[in-house]
């Protein structure tokens, strides 16, 4: 019963957060709505007894990605967002239609065809086992991931510095 | 709560993200729509893991962990690219960045 109430509250928070983040004109407000969405999702992970993933969600998304997005917004356009004419792209109705079609055809139907499955069995706290798994079978993946993050860091710095475009020497008139 | 509740919630979130990516013109908003979609996928992983027959194998959380790390790298690179594009074009409006088409 309690679980049901928390599920509905958390999913309402997540869906509303996502909707506001996507629709809001002011980008800063949008990022804060996105943070609310991440928090709701972290609560859902807790509800599914994935406590470590919930903690990682808070640390990585609310902590790091949120700050990164705020900085990127403040480094680019006007913070207050676009004026009325420029918020929505030209073919927006097709986009909306495509999203609805994906939902109904690609997602809803297979989900309904899944055998219904209720009340999972209780499970043990998984943090310790996760740590062991990271070292024993998944150590190569972990190292590759470390390499990827390093490469992404270097790449991000290089890209953000702006590869100085070679000056177009006196273009032909 | 059944598995279906979580799957439908994840599908709704995914489509909200898809809608944002399709209909907004600001590159940063498109980036965070992609984040919403990635998070919906993570919710699916965790839900399938929780309702699977042997959750002690921990496949779901491991995959989610790696997906979160890759998504973090993606955000960093994506935002750096947005900033680079802004430097060059003086806008992040996706419909005015169309020099490849001309």
Q: Measured between alpha carbons, how far is residue B31 from residues A72, B34, B57, B72, B100 in Å?
A: 11, 5, 33, 12, 21
The CA distance from B72 to A59, in Å, is 11
Predicted confidence band at A27 (pLDDT cuts at 50, 70, 90)?
confident
E strands, B1-102, where? none
Whether the ipTM is more than 0.85: the answer is yes
Q: Are residues A11 and A66 in the same domain?
A: yes
Residues A131 and A78 reside in one and the same domain: no
Q: Is residue A4 a part of any domain in this protein?
A: yes
Mean pLDDT, range B50-71, rounded to an integer = 89
The total number of structural domains that make up chain A: 2
Range of the domain at A148: 125-155
Do A48 and B47 contact (CB within 8 A), yes or no? yes
Residues A74 and A130 in one domain: no
User: Which residues of chain B neighbour A73 with C-beta distances below 8 Å?
Assistant: 28
**Tokens read off for A76:** 């680019």
Instruction: Give the minimum alpha-carbon distance from B92 to chain A in angstroms, rounded to a whole number.
Output: 7
B44 to chain A, any CB pair closer than 8 A? The answer is no
Q: Tell me the pTM.
A: 0.88
Domain assignment present for A165 = no
**Within a domain: A93:** no
Residue A5, CA distances (Å) to A8, A9, A103, A140, B99 in order: 5, 6, 25, 41, 51
In a domain, A41, yes or no: yes
Q: B22 φ, ψ to 5°?
A: -80, -35
Task: Clarify whether residues A74 and A129 are in a common domain.
Answer: no
b/e burial code for range A52-70 (CB count within 10 A of at least 16 → b): bbbebbbebbbeebbebbb
Chain B touched by A19 (CB under 8 Å): yes
- What CATH number does the domain located at B3-101 have? 1.10.287.3510
> Chain A residues with CB inside 8 Å of B82's CB?
72, 76
Confidence of residue A122 (pLDDT cuts 50, 70, 90): confident
To the nearest whole Å, the CA of A170 is away from the closest chain B CA by: 19
A63 vs B: CB within 8 A: no
Does residue A22 lie within any of the structural domains?
yes
The arithmetic mean of pLDDT across residues A85-89, rounded, is 69
Q: What is the pLDDT of residues B32-50, one digit of tens each?
A: 899 999 999 999 999 999 8
What pLDDT is attached to residue B87?
84
Q: Is residue A88 part of a domain?
A: no
Distance (Å) from the alpha carbon of A172 to chain B's nearest alpha carbon: 18
Please tell me whether residues A135 and A73 are part of one structural domain: no
Of B3, B32, B68, the CB nearest to A21: B32
Q: Is A171 on the interface with B (CB under 8 A)?
A: no
Q: Residue A73 sits in a domain of what CATH number?
A: 1.20.120.1200
């Amino acid at each position: 019963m309690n679980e049901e109430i928390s599920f509905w509250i958390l999913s309402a928070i997540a869906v509303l957060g996502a909707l506001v983040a996507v629709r809001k004109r002011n980008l800063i407000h949008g990022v804060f709505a996105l943070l609310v969405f991440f928090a709701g999702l972290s609560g859902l992970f807790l509800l599914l007894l994935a406590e470590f993933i919930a903690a990682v969600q808070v640390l990585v998304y609310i902590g790091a990605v949120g700050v990164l997005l705020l900085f990127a917004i403040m480094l680019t356009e006007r913070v207050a967002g676009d004026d009325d004419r420029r918020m929505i792209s030209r073919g927006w109705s097709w986009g909306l239609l495509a999203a609805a079609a994906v939902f109904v055809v690609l997602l809803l139907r297979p989900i309904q065809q899944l055998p219904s499955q209720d009340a999972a069995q209780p499970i043990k706290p998984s943090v310790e086992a996760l740590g062991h798994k990271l070292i024993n079978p998944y150590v190569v993946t972990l190292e590759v991931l470390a390499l990827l993050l390093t490469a992404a860091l270097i790449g991000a710095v290089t890209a953000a510095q702006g590869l100085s475009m070679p000056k177009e020497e006196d273009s032909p008139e | 709560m059944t598995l279906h509740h979580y799957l439908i919630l994840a599908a709704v979130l995914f489509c909200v993200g898809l809608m944002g990516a399709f209909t907004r013109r600001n590159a940063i908003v498109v980036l965070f729509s992609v984040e919403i979609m990635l998070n919906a996928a993570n919710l699916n992983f965790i839900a399938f893991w929780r309702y699977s027959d042997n959750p002690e194998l921990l496949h779901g959380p491991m995959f989610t962990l790696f997906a979160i790390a890759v998504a973090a790298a993606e955000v960093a690179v994506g935002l750096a690219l947005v900033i680079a594009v802004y430097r060059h074009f003086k806008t992040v409006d996706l419909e005015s960045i169309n020099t490849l088409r001309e």
